[in-house]
Amino acid sequence: MPAPEDFDVAETLHRHPDALSGGARLIPVQTTSGTFNVWTKRCGDNPRIKLLLLHGGPGATHEYFEAFDSYLPRAGVEYYHYDQLGSHRSSQPDEPNLWEIDRFVDEVEQVRQALGLNASNFFLLGHSWGGILATEYALKHQQHLKGLIISNMVSSIPAYNRYAEDVLMAKIPPDVLAEIKAIEAAKDYDNPRYMELLIPYHYEHHVLRLPHAQWPDPVLRAFAHINPNVYIPMQGPSELGASGKLAQWDRTDDLPNIHVPTLTIGAAHDTMDPAFMEAMAHALPQGQYLHCPEGSHMAMYDDQATYVSGLLAFLHAVDRAGAD
């Protein structure tokens, strides 16, 4: 009789017939609720620089990282697209107990082992929620890391919520903000008016600084494929702050314990305070900060030249230092 994970593979292939094409593979991940599969895809070939990408959400997808496909291969970087458990091309079990930070950290470690990554080559980039996950992974498993990138994510959700309240909301016209808050107070998040207000007054200023009609297809797909069964319990339903399981997460005091070379990436128009992200770099023993002056939360799109060139410079500098 086939193992449960074999049924899961069949279900994934039914949803995504091309899931295992072009260097992709499904990696079995063991959990307390059984074994499930997560989707990964290898791009490029470099024995010394292997970059694992942790997407945001929680419950979003690898798709918006497709921006890197135009740059990283020709720069000699091997990298891995990866949909975390619960995300689009991976298993989506109806197991609410799985949506915990520690469980995701264990998943990343199992993926690392399956991909054969180690301290001689393993770089980890986490964006947004992925930055939380990357931080937690480094605090538990940094002996396996060559370098770490925390992109567009502060080390404190309470600090993020204060920034959202004091800075981001203050930029929204009072009457618009009042209507948004009324919708949230009524928990009427499915009301189409909610996004009608958030897109022009928040998303186009702080998430991706382009008219929504011009957002790149990989970004639109990633947003369309967010799994609310993961996103809402962890992030919360509000788009102007976090109120779920992550609401009290704060690792600021632990940053000095991360000793691997680390790049923090912030942006002038981000949902995250760029000054806080720069301060994080100073708190990290081997930290440095990359500022994207034209960017927002998706700075890999709206300040692409700054973001990509800074990322590549960091990867190659750490690699050269390790070869000396």
User: Treating both helix axes as pointing N-terminal to C-terminal, what angle do 101-115 and 129-141 enclose, rounded to 10 degrees?
Assistant: 70
Give the domain ranges of the chain: 4-159+245-323
Q: Which CATH class is domain 4-159+245-323?
A: alpha beta
- 115 pLDDT higher than 70: yes
Which residue stretches of the chain are H helix? Answer: 4-15, 101-115, 129-141, 157-163, 174-185, 192-198, 217-224, 228-235, 274-283, 299-302, 304-323
**Burial zone of 97 (CB within 10 Å; 0-12 exposed, 13-18 middle, 19+ buried):** exposed
Residue 16 confidence (pLDDT) = 56
Q: What share of the chain is helix, strand, coil (3-state, %, to 5)?
A: 50, 15, 35
Which helix H or strand E contains 226, and what residues bound it?
none
For 46-68, what is the mean pLDDT?
98
The separation between the first and the last C-alpha atoms of the chain, rounded to the nearest angstrom, is: 53
Instruction: Give catalytic residues, as residue numbers.
Output: 128, 270, 297
Please count the residues of the chain.
324
On the question of pLDDT at 3 being above 70, the answer is: no
Higher pLDDT, 16 or 174: 174
CB atoms within 10 A of CB 17: 9
pLDDT (tens digit per residue) in 268-302: 999 999 999 999 999 999 999 999 999 999 999 99
- Looking at the DSSP assignment, which residues form a beta bridge with residue 35? 30
Instruction: Give the single-character DSSP code of 155.
Output: S
pLDDT digits (tens, 9 = 90+) for 305-324: 999 999 999 999 999 997 76
> Phi/psi at 90 (nearest 5 deg)?
-100, 175
How far, in Å, CA of 81 to CA of 8, rounded?
Answer: 20
Q: Which residue's structure tokens are 């990359």?
A: 290
* Cut 0.85: pTM above it: yes
* Predicted confidence band of residue 14 (pLDDT cuts 50, 70, 90): low
